[in-house]
């Protein structure tokens, strides 16, 4: 069976749809072959953290696919590093890659060479585009213009203040000083305790970003001094940051670049600075994955919205994964997924990975066995020597017994080892081998590190 992979990050009039990509892929199917379609909508090609793509990798490793067909190579990845890893995976499992747009087939050495060259150029193009966008941001920031894209919440498209949304933003800044968490504020917004127009659904992360965004501050000399104390690079003279207008922030490596804006600020400098101080005093959350209800806590993501899932108990001993976004009102997806079903899938994958690790140590086991035989032979020789020192014999016998014990422990099966693990040991093993598990009601996709 062949796999047809299609990806589209953003739907545009001039871009080829996923449906068309699939149809073109079917046209390249060898006669009599069946196809399994994998679709990723709304995912970028800069990395491979995509549910359908990861599911396709699972099928490849299981030996279910003979070939992969794509419309163009950049549908798979724009990263040469990611593509190099995929190429090794495909070669290891004898799976060919066919591209409709480039007329390439990795079944031949020439095809593989051309594919790698094209991916290299695609990565170069992506970096060039990113650099051009970044340069454009700097140029606009230096002219005190908006950086591009849609205006943030609280403003109209022309960057004039939206009174209704501005009142909501102001309320959020006030509430955070009362000790409200980001998730609590998102629940208030989604529950209409604070009126949110246009049916917008909020998450704690979105609220956090809003509260830290300098675009809302009515800048003053104190704000300018605050940016300086944080080591930010300031693009304009100090007086430009004291005119009551908002500011723009651009990330540059590990530091920020702050530019004075020409739009009107919403939040008074005193309130904005007080909120920044309050947020800095908050301890970062360290509870992710710290629960004891499931050894997969902190690794499970909702396949509908991408937010993390928490474990809840129904009071009768049954435990379920539930989307955190659903609790916040920003997702209508995952409600109750039995933890034991997800754990069973992960357990099978982890045991298989453990078996593979043990197989790679065959040479070490053989070396230990040889050493054990040498020690046994040495003991026999010493026993035949009438001048044997008792202490020497005792040491060798203890070493021999310890080698036997190590051999028995080493040969213990991964299944038995896993059954003997505590929940903390299983949790540690899962975090060592598993990056995420993306779940929906219909399927689970486990992404290894």
| Beta sheet of 67-70, edge-to-edge order | 35-41, 2-8, 67-70, 96-99, 104-105
Tell me whether domains 2-125 and 144-281 share a fold: no
For residues 25 and 100, is the Cβ–Cβ distance under 8 A?
yes
5 has a pLDDT exceeding 70: yes
Mean pLDDT of 265-294: 76
Looking at the chain, the whole-number percentage of residues with pLDDT higher than 70 is: 72
Nearest to 266 by CA among 228, 225, 214: 214
User: What's residue 368's pLDDT?
Assistant: 62
The pTM assigned to this predicted structure is 0.45
The dihedrals phi and psi of 300, each to the nearest 5 degrees, come to -90, 125
pLDDT single digits (tens) 329-365: 667 777 788 888 888 888 888 888 777 766 655 555 5
CATH number of 2-125: 3.40.50.1390
130 compared with 269, residue with greater pLDDT: 269
Q: Residue 410 to residues 8, 362, 413: CA-CA distances in angstroms?
A: 48, 11, 8
User: What's residue 24's pLDDT?
Assistant: 92
pLDDT single digits (tens) 411-427: 456 777 777 777 877 88
User: What's residue 396's pLDDT?
Assistant: 53
135 confidence band (pLDDT: 50, 70, 90):
low
Q: Residue 258 to residues 59, 211, 236, 271: CA-CA distances in angstroms?
A: 47, 16, 9, 19
Domain residue ranges in the chain: 2-125, 144-281, 285-449
One-character DSSP codes across 104-166:
EETTSHHHHHHHHHHHHHHHHHHHHHHHHHHHHHHHHHHTT---SSSPPTTB-TTS-B-HHHH
- Residue reference for tokens 């779940």: 439
193's tokens: 């305790």
Distance CA 288, CA 24 (A): 43
Looking at the chain, the whole-number percentage of residues with pLDDT higher than 90 is: 10
Helix (H) or strand (E) holding 333: none
Task: Report CA Rg, the chain.
Answer: 29
Mean pLDDT of 127-144: 68
Mean pLDDT, the chain, rounded, equals 78
317's tokens: 């001993």
Mean pLDDT of 67-94: 82
pLDDT single digits (tens) 137-159: 666 766 777 766 678 888 998 88
The b-or-e profile of 239-262 (16+ CB within 10 A means b, else e) is ebbbeebbbbbbeeeeebbbbbbe
Q: Between β-strands 67-70 and 96-99, what pairing exists: parallel, antiparallel or unpaired?
A: parallel
70 has a pLDDT exceeding 60: yes
Mean pLDDT of 18-35: 90
pLDDT single digits (tens) 367-409: 666 666 766 666 566 556 655 555 555 555 555 555 554 444 4
Nearest to 84 by CA among 226, 76, 28, 251: 76
Q: Between β-strands 35-41 and 2-8, what pairing exists: parallel, antiparallel or unpaired?
A: parallel
- Report the SS3 class of residue 76: coil
User: What's residue 287's pLDDT?
Assistant: 46
User: What's residue 189's pLDDT?
Assistant: 80
Domain spanning 144-281: CATH 3.90.1750.20: yes
């Amino acid at each position: 069976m062949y796999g047809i992979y299609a990806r589209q990050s953003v739907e545009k009039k001039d871009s080829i749809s996923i449906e068309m990509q699939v149809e073109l892929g079917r046209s390249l199917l060898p006669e009599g072959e069946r196809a399994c379609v994998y679709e990723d909508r709304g995912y970028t090609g800069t990395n491979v953290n995509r549910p359908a793509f990861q599911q396709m990798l699972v099928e490849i490793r299981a030996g279910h696919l003979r070939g992969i067909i794509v419309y163009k190579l950049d549908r798979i990845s724009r990263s040469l590093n990611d593509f190099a890893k995929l190429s090794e995976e495909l070669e290891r499992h004898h799976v060919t890659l066919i591209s409709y747009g480039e007329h390439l087939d990795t079944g031949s050495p020439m095809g593989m060479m051309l594919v790698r060259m094209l991916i290299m150029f695609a990565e170069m193009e992506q970096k060039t585009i990113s650099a051009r966008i970044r340069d454009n941001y700097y140029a606009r920031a230096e002219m005190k213009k908006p950086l591009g894209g849609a205006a943030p919440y609280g403003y109209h498209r022309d960057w004039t203040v939206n009174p209704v949304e501005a009142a909501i933003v102001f309320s959020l800044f006030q509430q955070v000083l009362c000790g409200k968490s980001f998730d609590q504020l998102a629940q208030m917004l989604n529950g209409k305790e604070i009126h949110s127009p246009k049916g917008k659904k909020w998450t704690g992360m979105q609220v956090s970003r809003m509260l830290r965004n300098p675009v809302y501050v009515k800048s003053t000399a104190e704000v300018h001094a605050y940016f300086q104390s944080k080591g930010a690079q300031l693009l304009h003279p100090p007086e430009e940051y004291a005119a009551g207008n908002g500011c723009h922030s651009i990330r540059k490596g590990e530091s920020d670049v702050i530019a004075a804006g020409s739009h009107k600020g919403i939040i008074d400098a005193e309130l904005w600075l007080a909120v920044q101080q309050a947020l800095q005093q908050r301890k970062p959350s360290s509870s992710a994955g710290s629960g004891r209800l499931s050894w997969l806590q902190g690794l499970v993501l909702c396949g509908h919205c991408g937010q993390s899932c928490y474990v809840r108990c129904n009071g009768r001993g049954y435990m379920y994964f539930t989307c955190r976004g659903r609790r916040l009102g920003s997702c209508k997806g995952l409600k109750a997924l039995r933890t034991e079903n997800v754990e069973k899938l992960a357990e099978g994958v982890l045991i298989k990975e453990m078996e593979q690790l043990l197989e790679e140590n065959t040479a070490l086991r053989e070396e230990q066995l040889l050493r054990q035989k040498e020690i046994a032979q040495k003991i026999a020789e010493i026993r035949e020597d009438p001048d044997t020192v008792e202490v020497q014999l005792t040491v060798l016998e203890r070493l021999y017994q310890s080698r036997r014990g190590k051999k028995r422990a080493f040969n213990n099966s991964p299944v038995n080892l896993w059954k003997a693990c505590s929940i903390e040991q299983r949790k540690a093993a899962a975090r060592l081998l598993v990056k995420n598990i993306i779940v929906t009601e219909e399927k689970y996709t486990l992404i290894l590190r």
